[in-house]
Amino acid sequence: MRAIVIRGKLELVEAELPTPVPRAGQVRLRMAYGGICGSDLHYYNDGANGAYVVREPLVPGHELSGTVDLDPSGELAPGTPVTIHPATFGTPAAGIEDRPHLWPDGAYLGSAGTWPHTQGGMSEFVVVGKHMIRTLPTTLPLRRATLAEPLGVALHAVHIAGGVEGRRVLVSGSGAIGLLAAASALSAGATEVVSTDVLPGPLRRARELGVHGTIQVGTDEIPSEYFDVVLECTGVPAAITAALDAARRAGIVVLVGVPPNEPRGVNLSPLVSRELQLRGTLRFNDEIDRAVQLLDADPRLEQVITHDFPAQQAVRAFTTAADSNTSGKVLISLWP
């Protein structure tokens, strides 16, 4: 089968790999689309995602949609449209029994965080455990369904915030995750959703999704002590400082973007003086199920997708995805 493979920094090629054969409890899928995530960009541009270094050829991709190719059990018919929950949960741990996404020793599709690496889904075929498969409504196009994984991340952030119904929400950063976080807040009943970014392109896309207002960082002022909830989606230390300042007294700030794994300066004074709650969020648990429902119900979410390249133009797709002013979510069509 054909696959997109990252061999190291700026080394991305189309390669021929053995077609996987499903075992009992597994299903082989024919992939349709793969979305390019920030971690995929790091693996390509840097040869690593944080501490996770590409040490063997890595097939990227965990934002996926496709159809069933072969289910040895016969339960899922060939052609059934699906998306994938990309996590393999690890070892249950005391105190987090109900949060398997936090269990140690887990894995995620398209990750160099394990050895051997956990191969992703930017290939003609993928074999996954049947429990990872989410069948799609016939009314949900495969192209839009590729957003299920990142939308699950956004919905989990709203959950970690304790919900946003009736609240004023600031979404810091309007990349793909920020856009989906804004859409999640709107769908969850926030009374006001305001998006920020340093670039005009992402802010235009936020307005097209229906946010109540946008703020261009460096040009416009972010209101201080105004928002009930702040969803910080950039991971940039300066943006975290601004997020804390934007939260009202006793407000909640959720870190959705991943900050650098190193000491960086952040002003924590408002955290104490206003008794703020600072919360972290990692991927998602089962929110992908709600994401599928929301994508089916709201076709506008497909606007987050700005580009769609054939697999033969994968390098161009990754280059485009790195330009956040001109691109939102970039998809790769995986060999129809």
Give the integer Cα–Cα distance in Å for 155 and 137.
Answer: 19
Residue 154 pLDDT: 98
Instruction: State pLDDT tens for residues 112-124.
Output: 999 999 999 999 9
Compute CA distances 234 → 64, 123, 258, whole Å. Answer: 23, 29, 7
What pLDDT band is residue 203 in, cutting at 50, 70 and 90? Answer: very high
In terms of C-beta density within 10 A (0-12 exposed, 13-18 middle, 19 or more buried), how is residue 270 classed?
buried
Q: Is the pLDDT of residue 132 over 90?
A: yes
User: Chain-wide mean pLDDT for the chain?
Assistant: 97
Statement: residue 51 has pLDDT above 90: no
Report pTM. Answer: 0.97
- Per cent of the chain over pLDDT 70 is 100
Secondary structure E strands in the chain: 2-8, 11-16, 26-35, 48-49, 52-53, 63-70, 81-84, 87-88, 107-108, 125-129, 133-135, 168-172, 192-197, 213-216, 227-232, 247-255, 277-280, 305-310, 329-333
For the chain, the maximum distance between any two Cα atoms, rounded to a whole number of angstroms, is: 60
Interval 143-185: pLDDT, tens: 999 999 999 999 999 999 999 999 999 999 999 999 999 999 9
For the residues of 161-206, what is the DSSP string, one character each?
TT--TT-EEEEE--SHHHHHHHHHHHHTT-SEEEEEESSHHHHHHH
Q: How far apart, in whole angstroms, are the C-alpha atoms of residue 151 and residue 282? A: 13
Residues 250-288: pLDDT tens digits?
Answer: 999 999 999 888 899 999 999 999 999 999 999 999 999
Amino acid at the residue 262? E
State whether the Cα torsion 280-282-283-285 is positive or negative.
negative
Strand 227-232, strand 168-172: pairing: parallel
> Is 191's pLDDT higher than 90?
yes
Task: Give the residue from 253, 256, 235 showing the smallest Cα distance to 244.
Answer: 253
Q: What pLDDT does residue 38 have? A: 93
Q: Is the pLDDT of residue 336 over 90?
A: no
pLDDT at 50 (0 to 100): 85
Tell the burial category of 203 from Cβ atoms under 10 Å away from its Cβ (0-12, 13-18, 19+): buried
pLDDT at 237: 96
3-state secondary structure of 244: helix
- The pair phi, psi for residue 211, each rounded to 5°, is -65, 160
Check residue 179 and give its pLDDT. 98
End-to-end CA distance of the chain: 13
Angle at 207 between CA 138 and CA 326, to 5 degrees: 85
In this prediction, residue 261 carries a pLDDT of 84
- Torsions phi, psi for 10 (to 5 deg): 60, 25
